[in-house]
């Protein structure tokens, strides 16, 4: 027996000694596997692996659900912004119609032209406010704001739009009074 | 590159010169003569010339200013049109301070609010004026700029900040959310009041605060804005019909302003104020302090309870001048004196929001 063989035997012996007293089949390698097969450990190992697999599948399902929720939230936010934009478009059409009526008033005889001029000034402010809304909604889509801030921003824009709507209603009423 | 910069600067100088040359002096004199809050002497009006317009105007009215058409366009550009690092710049003496907006590039890069700016892209900003610093901070959308700032606790730190288009919140909610803490920087006509109302409704639904917890409004960076928006905002916290103040104009003009009807907010109010709190923001804070609806915490305010209006001139330039003064319900004004806080803090506490909040909590415990 030369030195190389002696060294190899020492290593094998060392491995066997290393496995002794460890019932966990996962640590055994070939010898451990053999020992596990003979001691019923193989079945246990399969069961453990299946249990682990089931755990991983459950985690994956949770992650998938969370991802779906986030995507739904994102698309919901997108839909909300689109709805807001549609409202702004509708208001713009209303304001364009009001603009025409006020211009018609300005060329009408016997109408208080000072009041018409005041209305035109307020209409210009209203248009500017609506333009601001439009741009803010555009900016919101690609903004760096976090989810909560985007939600807050939408609420702020909604409240500002309500205020613009009130101003529009008031101007509409004034225009009708003047037209009469 | 240096050549391009020089050319651009040269062009800017030429443009400015041509704008000044075209300034219609007689129209300016006439507007000031007829509408300025405190009528100017004829000698002072006669002394206005194309060469000294900027300085002599300020002798007549400290808040008067002439803007070229281009300057005015830039000034009134909507907040949605901003492209940059998402921060404001102020000079405290000669020290440049960054005011970081929530959700902007600087905020997302982690730059703390109200920090001293030391370098931009490795070049010191010491000795530069505000416009030069702003010029270095600005750049193409999508580009990055490296900022070196002095940290509040000592030491310096570098931040790489992306320049991007940015639409700041009209009213910011400041984290952490346990406090009802919001920040108003600007009083924009028809914009800030609904934004504040929406923000307070939002906070009521989302923040885990007690109903009786105070609402803290940070006005430290509020330089002013629309006077009537300030009245409207104050009216949200006061009963309908309450006197908010008197707007005084030329030739005995005086109009008493009352709180409008509508839903009111009744929670205790604390307003954070400082030397940069000015104009419309001072009017808002002053009304709520004088009516004992809010307590002020911070440092004395700027001291400008007058309002300006803008008159467009025939060449497209715009003259801004003082036309009205605001008196508080007691008949006094903040002009020249500023508002004195109910709790005055040390100067070095003003830049630390956590420290200010501690002071607020101590104040609230003593004055429940």
Domain range list for chain B: 25-58, 83-165, 172-366
- Assess whether the previous peptide bond of B176 is cis (omega < 30° from 0): yes
Name every residue whose Cβ is closer than 8 Å to that of residue A78 and which is 6 or more positions away in sequence. Answer: A141
Q: How far apart are CA A113 and CA B101, in angstroms?
A: 44
Tell me which residues of chain A, numbers 110 to 139, contact chain B at a CB-CB cutoff of 8 Å.
125, 129, 131-132, 135-136, 138-139
Q: Which residues pair with B326 in a beta bridge?
A: B247
Other beta carbons less than 10 A from residue B51's beta carbon:
10
Q: Which of B103, B190, B199 sits opposite A144 (nearest CB)?
A: B103
- 3-state SS assignment for residue B180: strand
Contact A145 B189 (CB under 8 A): no
User: Above 50 in pLDDT, residue A141?
Assistant: yes
Is the ipTM beyond the 0.85 threshold? no
Torsion angle of the four alpha carbons B113, B119, B124, B127, in this order, in degrees rounded to the nearest 10:
-20
Indicate the DSSP class of residue B245: E
pLDDT at residue B7 tops 70: no
Q: Quick one: CATH architecture of B83-165?
A: Roll (2.30)
Contacts of B201 (CB under 8 A, 6+ apart): A155
Predicted confidence (pLDDT) per residue in B201-213, tens digit: 988 877 666 667 8
**Cβ-proximal residues to B216 (8 Å cutoff; 6+ apart), any chain:** B179, B180, B181, B182, B270, B271, B272, B357, B360
Classify each residue of B223-252 as buried b or exposed e, where b means 16 or more C-beta atoms within 10 Å of its C-beta.
bbbbbbbbbbbbbbbbeeebbbbbbbeeee
Question: CA-nearest residue of chain A to B204?
Answer: A152
| Partner A contacted by B293 (CB < 8 A) | no
* Model pLDDT for residues B30-45, shown as the tens digit of each residue: 999 999 999 999 999 9
- Which chain B residues are within 8 Å of A149, Cβ to Cβ? 102-103, 169, 173
Nearest to A149 among B102, B191, B194 (CB): B102
Q: Across residues B40-55, what is the average pLDDT?
A: 91
**What pLDDT shows up at residue B295?**
97
- Of the candidates A135, A136, A143, the beta carbon closest to that of B103 is on A143
DSSP-assigned states of every residue in B321-335: EEEEEEE-TTS---T
Average pLDDT, chain B: 88
The mean pLDDT value for B235-249 works out to: 96
pLDDT above 50 (res B177): yes
Q: How many other β-carbons are positioned within 10 Å of the β-carbon of residue B158?
A: 11
What would the pLDDT profile of A76-119 be if each residue is shown by its tens digit?
Answer: 777 788 888 888 888 889 889 989 988 888 888 777 888 888 88
DSSP string, A61-106: HHHHHHHHHHHHHHHHHHHHHHHHHHHHHHHHHHHHHHHHHHHHHH
H helix or E strand, kind and range, residue B271: strand B269-273
Chain segment B93-138, per-residue pLDDT in tens = 899 999 999 888 999 999 999 999 999 999 999 999 998 999 999 9
Decide if pLDDT at B151 tops 60. Answer: yes
pLDDT at B179 over 80: no
B217 phi/psi in degrees, rounded to 5: -110, 120
Cβ distance A144 to B81 less than 8 Å, yes or no, reads no
- Percentage of chain B modeled with pLDDT above 70: 90
Full-model pTM: 0.77
- Cβ–Cβ < 8 Å for B16, B304: no
Which of B80, B104, B193 lies closest to A132 in CB terms? B80
Select the CATH number that applies to the domain covering B172-366 from these four: 3.50.50.100, 3.30.200.20, 3.30.420.40, 3.90.226.10: 3.90.226.10
pLDDT of residue B176: 65
């Amino acid at each position: 027996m030369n030195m190389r063989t002696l060294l190899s035997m020492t290593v094998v012996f060392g491995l066997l000694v290393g496995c002794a007293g460890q019932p966990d089949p996962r640590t055994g390698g070939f010898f451990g596997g053999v020992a596990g097969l003979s001691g019923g450990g193989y079945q246990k190992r399969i069961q453990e692996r299946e249990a682990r697999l089931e755990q991983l599948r459950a985690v994956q399902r949770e992650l998938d659900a969370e991802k779906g929720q986030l995507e739904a939230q994102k698309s919901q936010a997108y839909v909300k912004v689109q709805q807001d934009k549609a409202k702004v478009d509708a208001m713009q059409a209303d304001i364009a119609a009001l603009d025409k009526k006020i211009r018609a008033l300005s060329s009408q005889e016997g109408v208080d032209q000072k009041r018409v001029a005041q209305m035109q000034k307020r209409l210009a402010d209203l248009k500017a406010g609506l333009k601001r809304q439009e741009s803010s909604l555009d900016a919101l889509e690609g903004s760096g704001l976090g989810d909560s801030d985007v939600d807050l921003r939408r609420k702020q824009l909604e409240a500002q739009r309500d205020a613009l709507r009130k101003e529009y209603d008031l101007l509409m009423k004034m225009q009708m009074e003047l037209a009469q | 590159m240096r050549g391009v910069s020089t050319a651009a600067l040269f062009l800017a100088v030429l443009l400015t010169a041509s704008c000044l040359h075209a300034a219609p002096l007689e129209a300016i004199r006439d507007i000031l003569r007829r509408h300025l809050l405190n009528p100017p002497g004829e000698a002072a009006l006669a002394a206005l010339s194309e060469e000294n317009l900027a300085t002599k105007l300020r002798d007549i009215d400290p808040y008067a200013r002439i803007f070229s058409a281009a300057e005015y366009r830039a000034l009134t550009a909507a907040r949605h049109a901003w492209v940059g690092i998402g921060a404001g710049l102020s000079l405290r003496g000669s020290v440049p301070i960054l005011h970081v907006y929530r959700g902007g590039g600087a905020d997302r890069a982690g730059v703390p609010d109200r920090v001293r700016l030391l370098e931009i892209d490795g070049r010191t900003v010491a000795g530069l004026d505000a416009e030069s610093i702003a010029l270095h901070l600005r750049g193409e959308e999508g580009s990055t700029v490296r900022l070196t700032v002095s940290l509040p606790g000592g030491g310096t730190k570098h931040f790489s900040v992306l320049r991007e288009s940015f639409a700041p919140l009209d009213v910011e909610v400041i984290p952490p959310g346990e406090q009802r803490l919001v920040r108003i920087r600007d009083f924009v006509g028809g914009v800030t009041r609904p934004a504040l109302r929406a923000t307070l409704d939002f906070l009521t639904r989302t923040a885990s605060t007690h109903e009786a917890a105070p609402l803290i409004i940070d006005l430290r960076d509020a330089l002013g804005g629309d006077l009537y928006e300030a009245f409207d905002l104050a009216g949200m916290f006061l009963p309908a019909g309450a006197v908010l103040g008197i707007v005084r104009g030329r030739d005995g003009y005086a109009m008493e302003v009352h709180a409008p009807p509508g839903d009111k907010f009744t929670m205790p109010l604390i307003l954070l104020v400082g030397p940069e709190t000015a104009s419309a923001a001072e009017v808002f804070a002053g009304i709520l302090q004088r009516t004992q609806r809010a307590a002020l915490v911070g440092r004395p305010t700027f001291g400008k309870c007058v309002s300006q209006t803008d008159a467009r001139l025939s060449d497209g330039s715009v003259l801004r001048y003082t036309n009205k003064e605001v008196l508080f319900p007691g008949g006094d004004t903040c002009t020249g004196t500023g508002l004195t806080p109910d709790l005055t803090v040390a100067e070095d506490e003003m830049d630390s929001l956590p420290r200010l909040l501690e002071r607020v909590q101590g104040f609230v415990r003593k004055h429940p």
